[in-house]
A and B are shown apart, each in its own frame.
Chain A
């Protein structure tokens, strides 16, 4: 069982957001070791065998992604995704504020591994203060000789830049983010080609989530086996679960993947406010299907393979807990509003569908709709399914369809006639 934090290490070592303190616990020694003694592909091999999977939502194997980088096209870039805009997700922010140097070291190691000499950290616009702090910290790294030209007396050079978004959820989608960094309107690109072959400025690029990258220094330091000692066979390692909603102790909890929902919600989260009965769980923020929170569901391990058996996804592990004080039609009205607001407008079904769903759910929650409207809502959502250009549009219907199917009563109670 795990005692010490891997990611939220500031909870064990206060003030490691100061470079000297971070260095006292061995900070940037891994980066030095990597640059001076390891070949890039050796680094990739370790990450591959650790089984680390992307923490941005899709759970794609990180080492594999790094290995996909086109070796015939140069230069390469690394982009750290600090857009963190999924409702109910607040883990990257804690890392960036509490344990920023471990994250930056992760960026540096990833850059070395894929041969990038420039890395960007893309932060959501609202993180402007964090961005300024990060800029200062990056400067400290330059002063300490840990970033810049010809590092540690080798040929390897690395520069890290921050880039602020302008407040768009879609810019968390990796290709929209690349467009945004290039100074263009934040809309996703057609894929393929994927970023490892055609990314930033058209060059091979690795995009990784902040949490994903923050795992890397300790994986290299302590080895793939050590990392695999946490979590499950297919979902190894630790994960930060962002617990929110109707729980007594909301917050970030770093736990091994595979921890059951019940443990997170009742043991760590202290159970439901005023001890109400739990009703539903959204495991991936607003992008979730609604899980009916019955006993089998509560006993389901939170990992990439098990959650789908509940007709849902783990996503970024932003666990929003819903109790019996919440009517599901109200809840989906909130999520639909969010997606309507964030739809980039590039493709027809999402641009028009989220707008339409907003009107329908507005009328439903206002008690001004008939059952026909609920049926229509279902139709509209189904009509969007599988036709959207990117995952945002597809996410926007998850809560709607699962909500109507699994919590039909809430809708029946709302409609007239």
Chain B
């Protein structure tokens, strides 16, 4: 590590690494230097001129190179006549910084006076009022009166929709370029920029549709004024009226840390209501960012369609009943069913729910099944991200392999963190059957045919260790390719290796094998079980990993399992909605969910559950970080947390399960599950100081992202790290076969899942029932853009609209998941045109 630089700031001695700028150095010493344009996550630009300080440097004798000393022996310090911008000035040895002199204060007052000449000062109606850097710094440094003639103010447009999610008030903009730089440098979506010059300099959007970026909401957090606001929170509340609750995003396996801001609302009959979702700092997970799905997609929890009473089918109709009646009926029928009970759950549930429901099912000798389209969670428990890992630690010398997933769409913040790792020098391998947004950062972009993903990894393993997969015919044509040979060399040389795998082009069984081959690759290159190494599953749901850890497994054949069951207990999933042809006709069907889903409509008993915003729980992310969320608002009367419902059914069956609090359930998990032995709600609430320091009184520094006071979570140890033997044997490889057009389901960020549809805001962003095909293949198949075609996969079929897309390989059509197209695994299809416009 490089030698630290010593300087003094307002008399306090500070030691920081060389290259640190004066603002950050001061921050480390607990001294705040006001900034507008500087942001600790971006390079300084020196535009606003707010961070002015006096800077002195030791005088060096040119001839001797020695420090010049005054008579009393102290080093002579020469102050520059001008104030300097602290954000653009790197520290140097012996530097003396003055942050509090009259000269400094005057300089800041001058800058504020300039900024306010053309500022509308409409704080009383501004969303930022109360958490506004400009307002706060004016209170601290500004002059009490204006010398500017009101009539000479320049006026500009006040309600400019940059897109449908973000509004711009041009008058309030102080031209700091934080938003532009965030979009350019951090998320590489350069869709907004400056237009014009001088006082007329204004933010415009270049994209069609406007501000087309899945990270756009973050600009409103870092905008130092009320120029950028979200369509969600605009004119919604004043920041000081809001209460804050810590939470975790449930939309994808990244597990971004959130703060939910709530307020009592007249329009909600005086109930507490959610006003906005904000990022909460966790430098191990999401830093200070979240994606727009996490920010704007929460509205399902406040849907009017939510259930608030148990329902029991009477005379063919679902009729409201008391909890007692419902629970008694359910427990009686479950007991009767015994081993003919099948419980089906999804990774939307918390660890506590999954544990209790599993216990209940096991105690009744029932069967349990995880509703998922992807396998490999048990492999992740062996070689997942090890304790102490942080994607931010990856850089030069490290390798990241991303296979069979489109991270930008499936786990946006992971996409961002991988991109940033490449900027620090990490080498990226992106393997998929088609090009994705991550390819542009990849040193080794690899293409294979859908279905070959396992063989590709096997080929890499074979190139690295010729003893493995010897004579495997299926991989020969892959291991001969020079890019794959080069990739193998890069893998061999990797200091750290992180592998992301998804299920694009695989079914459950295939992706299970993919997880195994990836694990073998990690073991072969000697990376398993080490910090900053491991396998990351790109699950479709936030807590699929928790479900595997709680012992849930996907059934070999879901429809057979369902057919064989007498009683079905379906929690937090909607198989009938996903595939209307699925036959759901057991003797007794219990559905536990938030709404009357298509599956719930078929039920004999419907049990209303609480969403994550109204209860406690914990989730295990794809990086195997267990994180807890807190209740943001009181639970709606009539509904209960899933773990508590399970406990009540259990009680009625004579089984004791913890129902009082999620924390107690976690204690039970810790007692029973060795991986979770160290976890408790107290431990999960631990925090430590993070850099940059954000979310405190100096909102101007990091923005309105929240400080993390409620817990950074804990990353689990994996089996290899714990010293258990690596237990994955080489899988059988199969050669690609099959004729005809292959339909491959892919995950899009804005799908039509039950937890997204109710967010009106995102309506225009949702993917519709389309089918993507390349132009050549379309011609071959005799279809044209905008045709409506019937896509037939075995027994099932759906109507989709044709969209041409170059990135789709020949012989393939892509269809989005979770939009009602009943294709959950790759499948050979036939197309019939039904309508041509």
Nearest CB on B from A286, distance (A): 15
Q: Does B148 contact A (CB under 8 A)?
A: yes
Q: Does A253 contact B (CB under 8 A)?
A: no
Who on chain B is nearest to A352 by CB? B114
Task: Kindly state the interface size class of chain B when it binds its partner.
Answer: 35 or more
A352 touches B197 (CB 8 A): no
A348 touches B46 (CB 8 A): no
B175 touches A190 (CB 8 A): no
Q: Does B52 contact A (CB under 8 A)?
A: yes
Who on chain B is nearest to A372 by CB? B147
A376/B114 contact (C-beta < 8 A), A345-B175, A351-B199 known: no
B198 touches A343 (CB 8 A): yes
Nearest CB on B from A202, distance (A): 13
Please, how many angstroms separate the alpha-carbon atoms of A341 and B196 in the complex? 11
Q: Does B266 contact A (CB under 8 A)?
A: no
Which of A185, A346, A353 interacts with B47 by CB under 8 Å?
Answer: A346
- B175 / chain A contacts, CB cutoff of 8 Å: 345-346, 348, 351
Nearest CB on B from A391, distance (A): 13
Nearest CB on A from B101, distance (A): 15
- B107 / chain A contacts, CB cutoff of 8 Å: 387
B47 touches A355 (CB 8 A): no
Q: Does A349 contact B (CB under 8 A)?
A: yes
Q: Does A410 contact B (CB under 8 A)?
A: no
Who on chain A is nearest to B193 by CB? A185
Nearest CB on B from A55, distance (A): 26
B148 touches A383 (CB 8 A): no
Q: Mark A92-123, 1 if CB is under 8 A from B, else 0.
A: 00000000000000000000000000000000
Nearest CB on B from A154, distance (A): 37
Q: Does A342 contact B (CB under 8 A)?
A: yes
Which of A341, A342, A355, A386 interacts with B154 by CB under 8 Å?
Answer: A355
Nearest CB on A from B629, distance (A): 41
Which of A170, A356, A387 interacts with B52 by CB under 8 Å?
Answer: A387
Q: Does B115 contact A (CB under 8 A)?
A: yes
A345/B49 contact (C-beta < 8 A), A185-B193, A376-B147 known: no
Please, how many angstroms separate the alpha-carbon atoms of A190 and B49 in the complex? 12
Q: Does A416 contact B (CB under 8 A)?
A: no
Which of B82, B193, B198 interacts with A355 by CB under 8 Å?
Answer: B198
B149 touches A359 (CB 8 A): yes
Q: Does B804 contact A (CB under 8 A)?
A: no
Who on chain B is nearest to A376 by CB? B147
Q: Does B174 contact A (CB under 8 A)?
A: yes
A386 touches B82 (CB 8 A): yes
Q: Does B113 contact A (CB under 8 A)?
A: yes
Q: Mark B30-64, 1 if CB is under 8 A from A, else 0.
A: 00000000000000111111101000000000000
A387 touches B49 (CB 8 A): yes
Q: Does A44 contact B (CB under 8 A)?
A: no
Please, how many angstroms separate the alpha-carbon atoms of A25 and B149 in the complex? 63
Report A208-229 residues with CB < 8 Å from chain B CB. none
- B199 / chain A contacts, CB cutoff of 8 Å: 340, 343, 345, 351-352, 354-355
Who on chain B is nearest to A353 by CB? B114
Among A168, A185, A343, A347, find the residue whose CB has the most chain B CB atoms closer than 10 A: A347
Please, how many angstroms separate the alpha-carbon atoms of A388 and B83 in the complex? 11
B50 touches A348 (CB 8 A): yes
- A341 / chain B contacts, CB cutoff of 8 Å: 198
Which of A351, A356, A389 interacts with B198 by CB under 8 Å?
Answer: A351
A383 touches B88 (CB 8 A): no
Among A348, A355, A356, A383, find the residue whose CB has the most chain B CB atoms closer than 10 A: A348
A383 touches B110 (CB 8 A): yes
B201 touches A351 (CB 8 A): yes
Q: Does B200 contact A (CB under 8 A)?
A: yes
A387 touches B83 (CB 8 A): yes
A349/B111 contact (C-beta < 8 A), A355-B118, A387-B49, A389-B49 known: yes
Who on chain B is nearest to A385 by CB? B82
A345 touches B198 (CB 8 A): yes
- B88 / chain A contacts, CB cutoff of 8 Å: 190
Which of B47, B82, B83, B197 interacts with A343 by CB under 8 Å?
Answer: B197
- A348 / chain B contacts, CB cutoff of 8 Å: 47-50, 111, 114-115, 174-175
Who on chain A is nearest to B44 by CB? A190
Report A368-387 residues with CB < 8 Å from chain B CB. 376, 379, 383, 386-387
Q: Does A400 contact B (CB under 8 A)?
A: no
Report A291-320 residues with CB < 8 Å from chain B CB. none
Nearest CB on B from A363, distance (A): 9
Q: Does A344 contact B (CB under 8 A)?
A: yes
**Total residues of chain A contacting the partner, CB 8 A:** 29
Please, how many angstroms separate the alpha-carbon atoms of A359 and B148 in the complex? 10
Report B68-117 residues with CB < 8 Å from chain A CB. 81-83, 88, 107, 110-111, 113-115, 117
Who on chain A is nearest to B90 by CB? A192
Who on chain A is nearest to B195 by CB? A185
A349 touches B198 (CB 8 A): no
Which of A186, A342, A383, A389 interacts with B113 by CB under 8 Å?
Answer: A383
- A190 / chain B contacts, CB cutoff of 8 Å: 44-46, 88
Nearest CB on B from A410, distance (A): 23
- B235 / chain A contacts, CB cutoff of 8 Å: none
Nearest CB on B from A27, distance (A): 40
Please, how many angstroms separate the alpha-carbon atoms of A344 and B88 in the complex? 19
Nearest CB on B from A179, distance (A): 12
Q: Does B194 contact A (CB under 8 A)?
A: yes
Q: Mark A326-360, 1 if CB is under 8 A from B, else 0.
A: 00000000000000111111111101111110010
Please, how many angstroms separate the alpha-carbon atoms of A93 and B152 in the complex? 38
B197 touches A383 (CB 8 A): no
Who on chain A is nearest to B84 by CB? A386
Nearest CB on A from B754, distance (A): 44
- A387 / chain B contacts, CB cutoff of 8 Å: 49, 52, 82-83, 107, 110-111
- B197 / chain A contacts, CB cutoff of 8 Å: 168, 170, 185-186, 342-345
Nearest CB on A from B821, distance (A): 42
A345/B83 contact (C-beta < 8 A), A389-B46, A389-B49 known: no
- B114 / chain A contacts, CB cutoff of 8 Å: 348-349, 351-353, 356, 383
Please, how many angstroms separate the alpha-carbon atoms of A154 and B203 in the complex? 50
- A379 / chain B contacts, CB cutoff of 8 Å: 147
A349 touches B46 (CB 8 A): no
Among B82, B110, B111, find the residue whose CB has the most chain A CB atoms closer than 10 A: B110
A354/B110 contact (C-beta < 8 A), A359-B149, A386-B83 known: no
Who on chain A is nearest to B45 by CB? A190
Report B111-158 residues with CB < 8 Å from chain A CB. 111, 113-115, 117-118, 147-149, 152, 154
A356/B44 contact (C-beta < 8 A), A348-B50, A351-B199, A387-B49 known: no
Please, how many angstroms separate the alpha-carbon atoms of A352 and B48 in the complex? 11
Please, how many angstroms separate the alpha-carbon atoms of A343 and B50 in the complex? 19
Who on chain A is nearest to B88 by CB? A190
- B47 / chain A contacts, CB cutoff of 8 Å: 346-348, 389
B198 touches A386 (CB 8 A): no
B117 touches A356 (CB 8 A): yes
- A351 / chain B contacts, CB cutoff of 8 Å: 114, 175, 198-199, 201
Nearest CB on B from A374, distance (A): 13
Nearest CB on A from B63, distance (A): 21
Which of A170, A359, A386 interacts with B81 by CB under 8 Å?
Answer: A386
Nearest CB on A from B623, distance (A): 35
- A346 / chain B contacts, CB cutoff of 8 Å: 47, 175, 201
Report B582-632 residues with CB < 8 Å from chain A CB. none
A-B CB proximity, top 9 nearest: A345-B201, A352-B114, A386-B82, A343-B198, A383-B110, A359-B152, A355-B199, A345-B198, A345-B197
Q: Give 13 A-B pairs besides A349-B111, A389-B49 with Cβ atoms closer than 8 angstroms.
A: A185-B194, A185-B197, A190-B88, A340-B198, A342-B198, A343-B199, A345-B199, A348-B114, A348-B175, A351-B201, A383-B110, A386-B82, A387-B83
17 contacting pairs across A/B (C-beta < 8 A): A168-B197, A170-B197, A185-B197, A186-B197, A190-B44, A343-B199, A345-B198, A348-B47, A348-B50, A348-B111, A348-B175, A352-B118, A354-B198, A379-B147, A386-B82, A387-B107, A387-B110
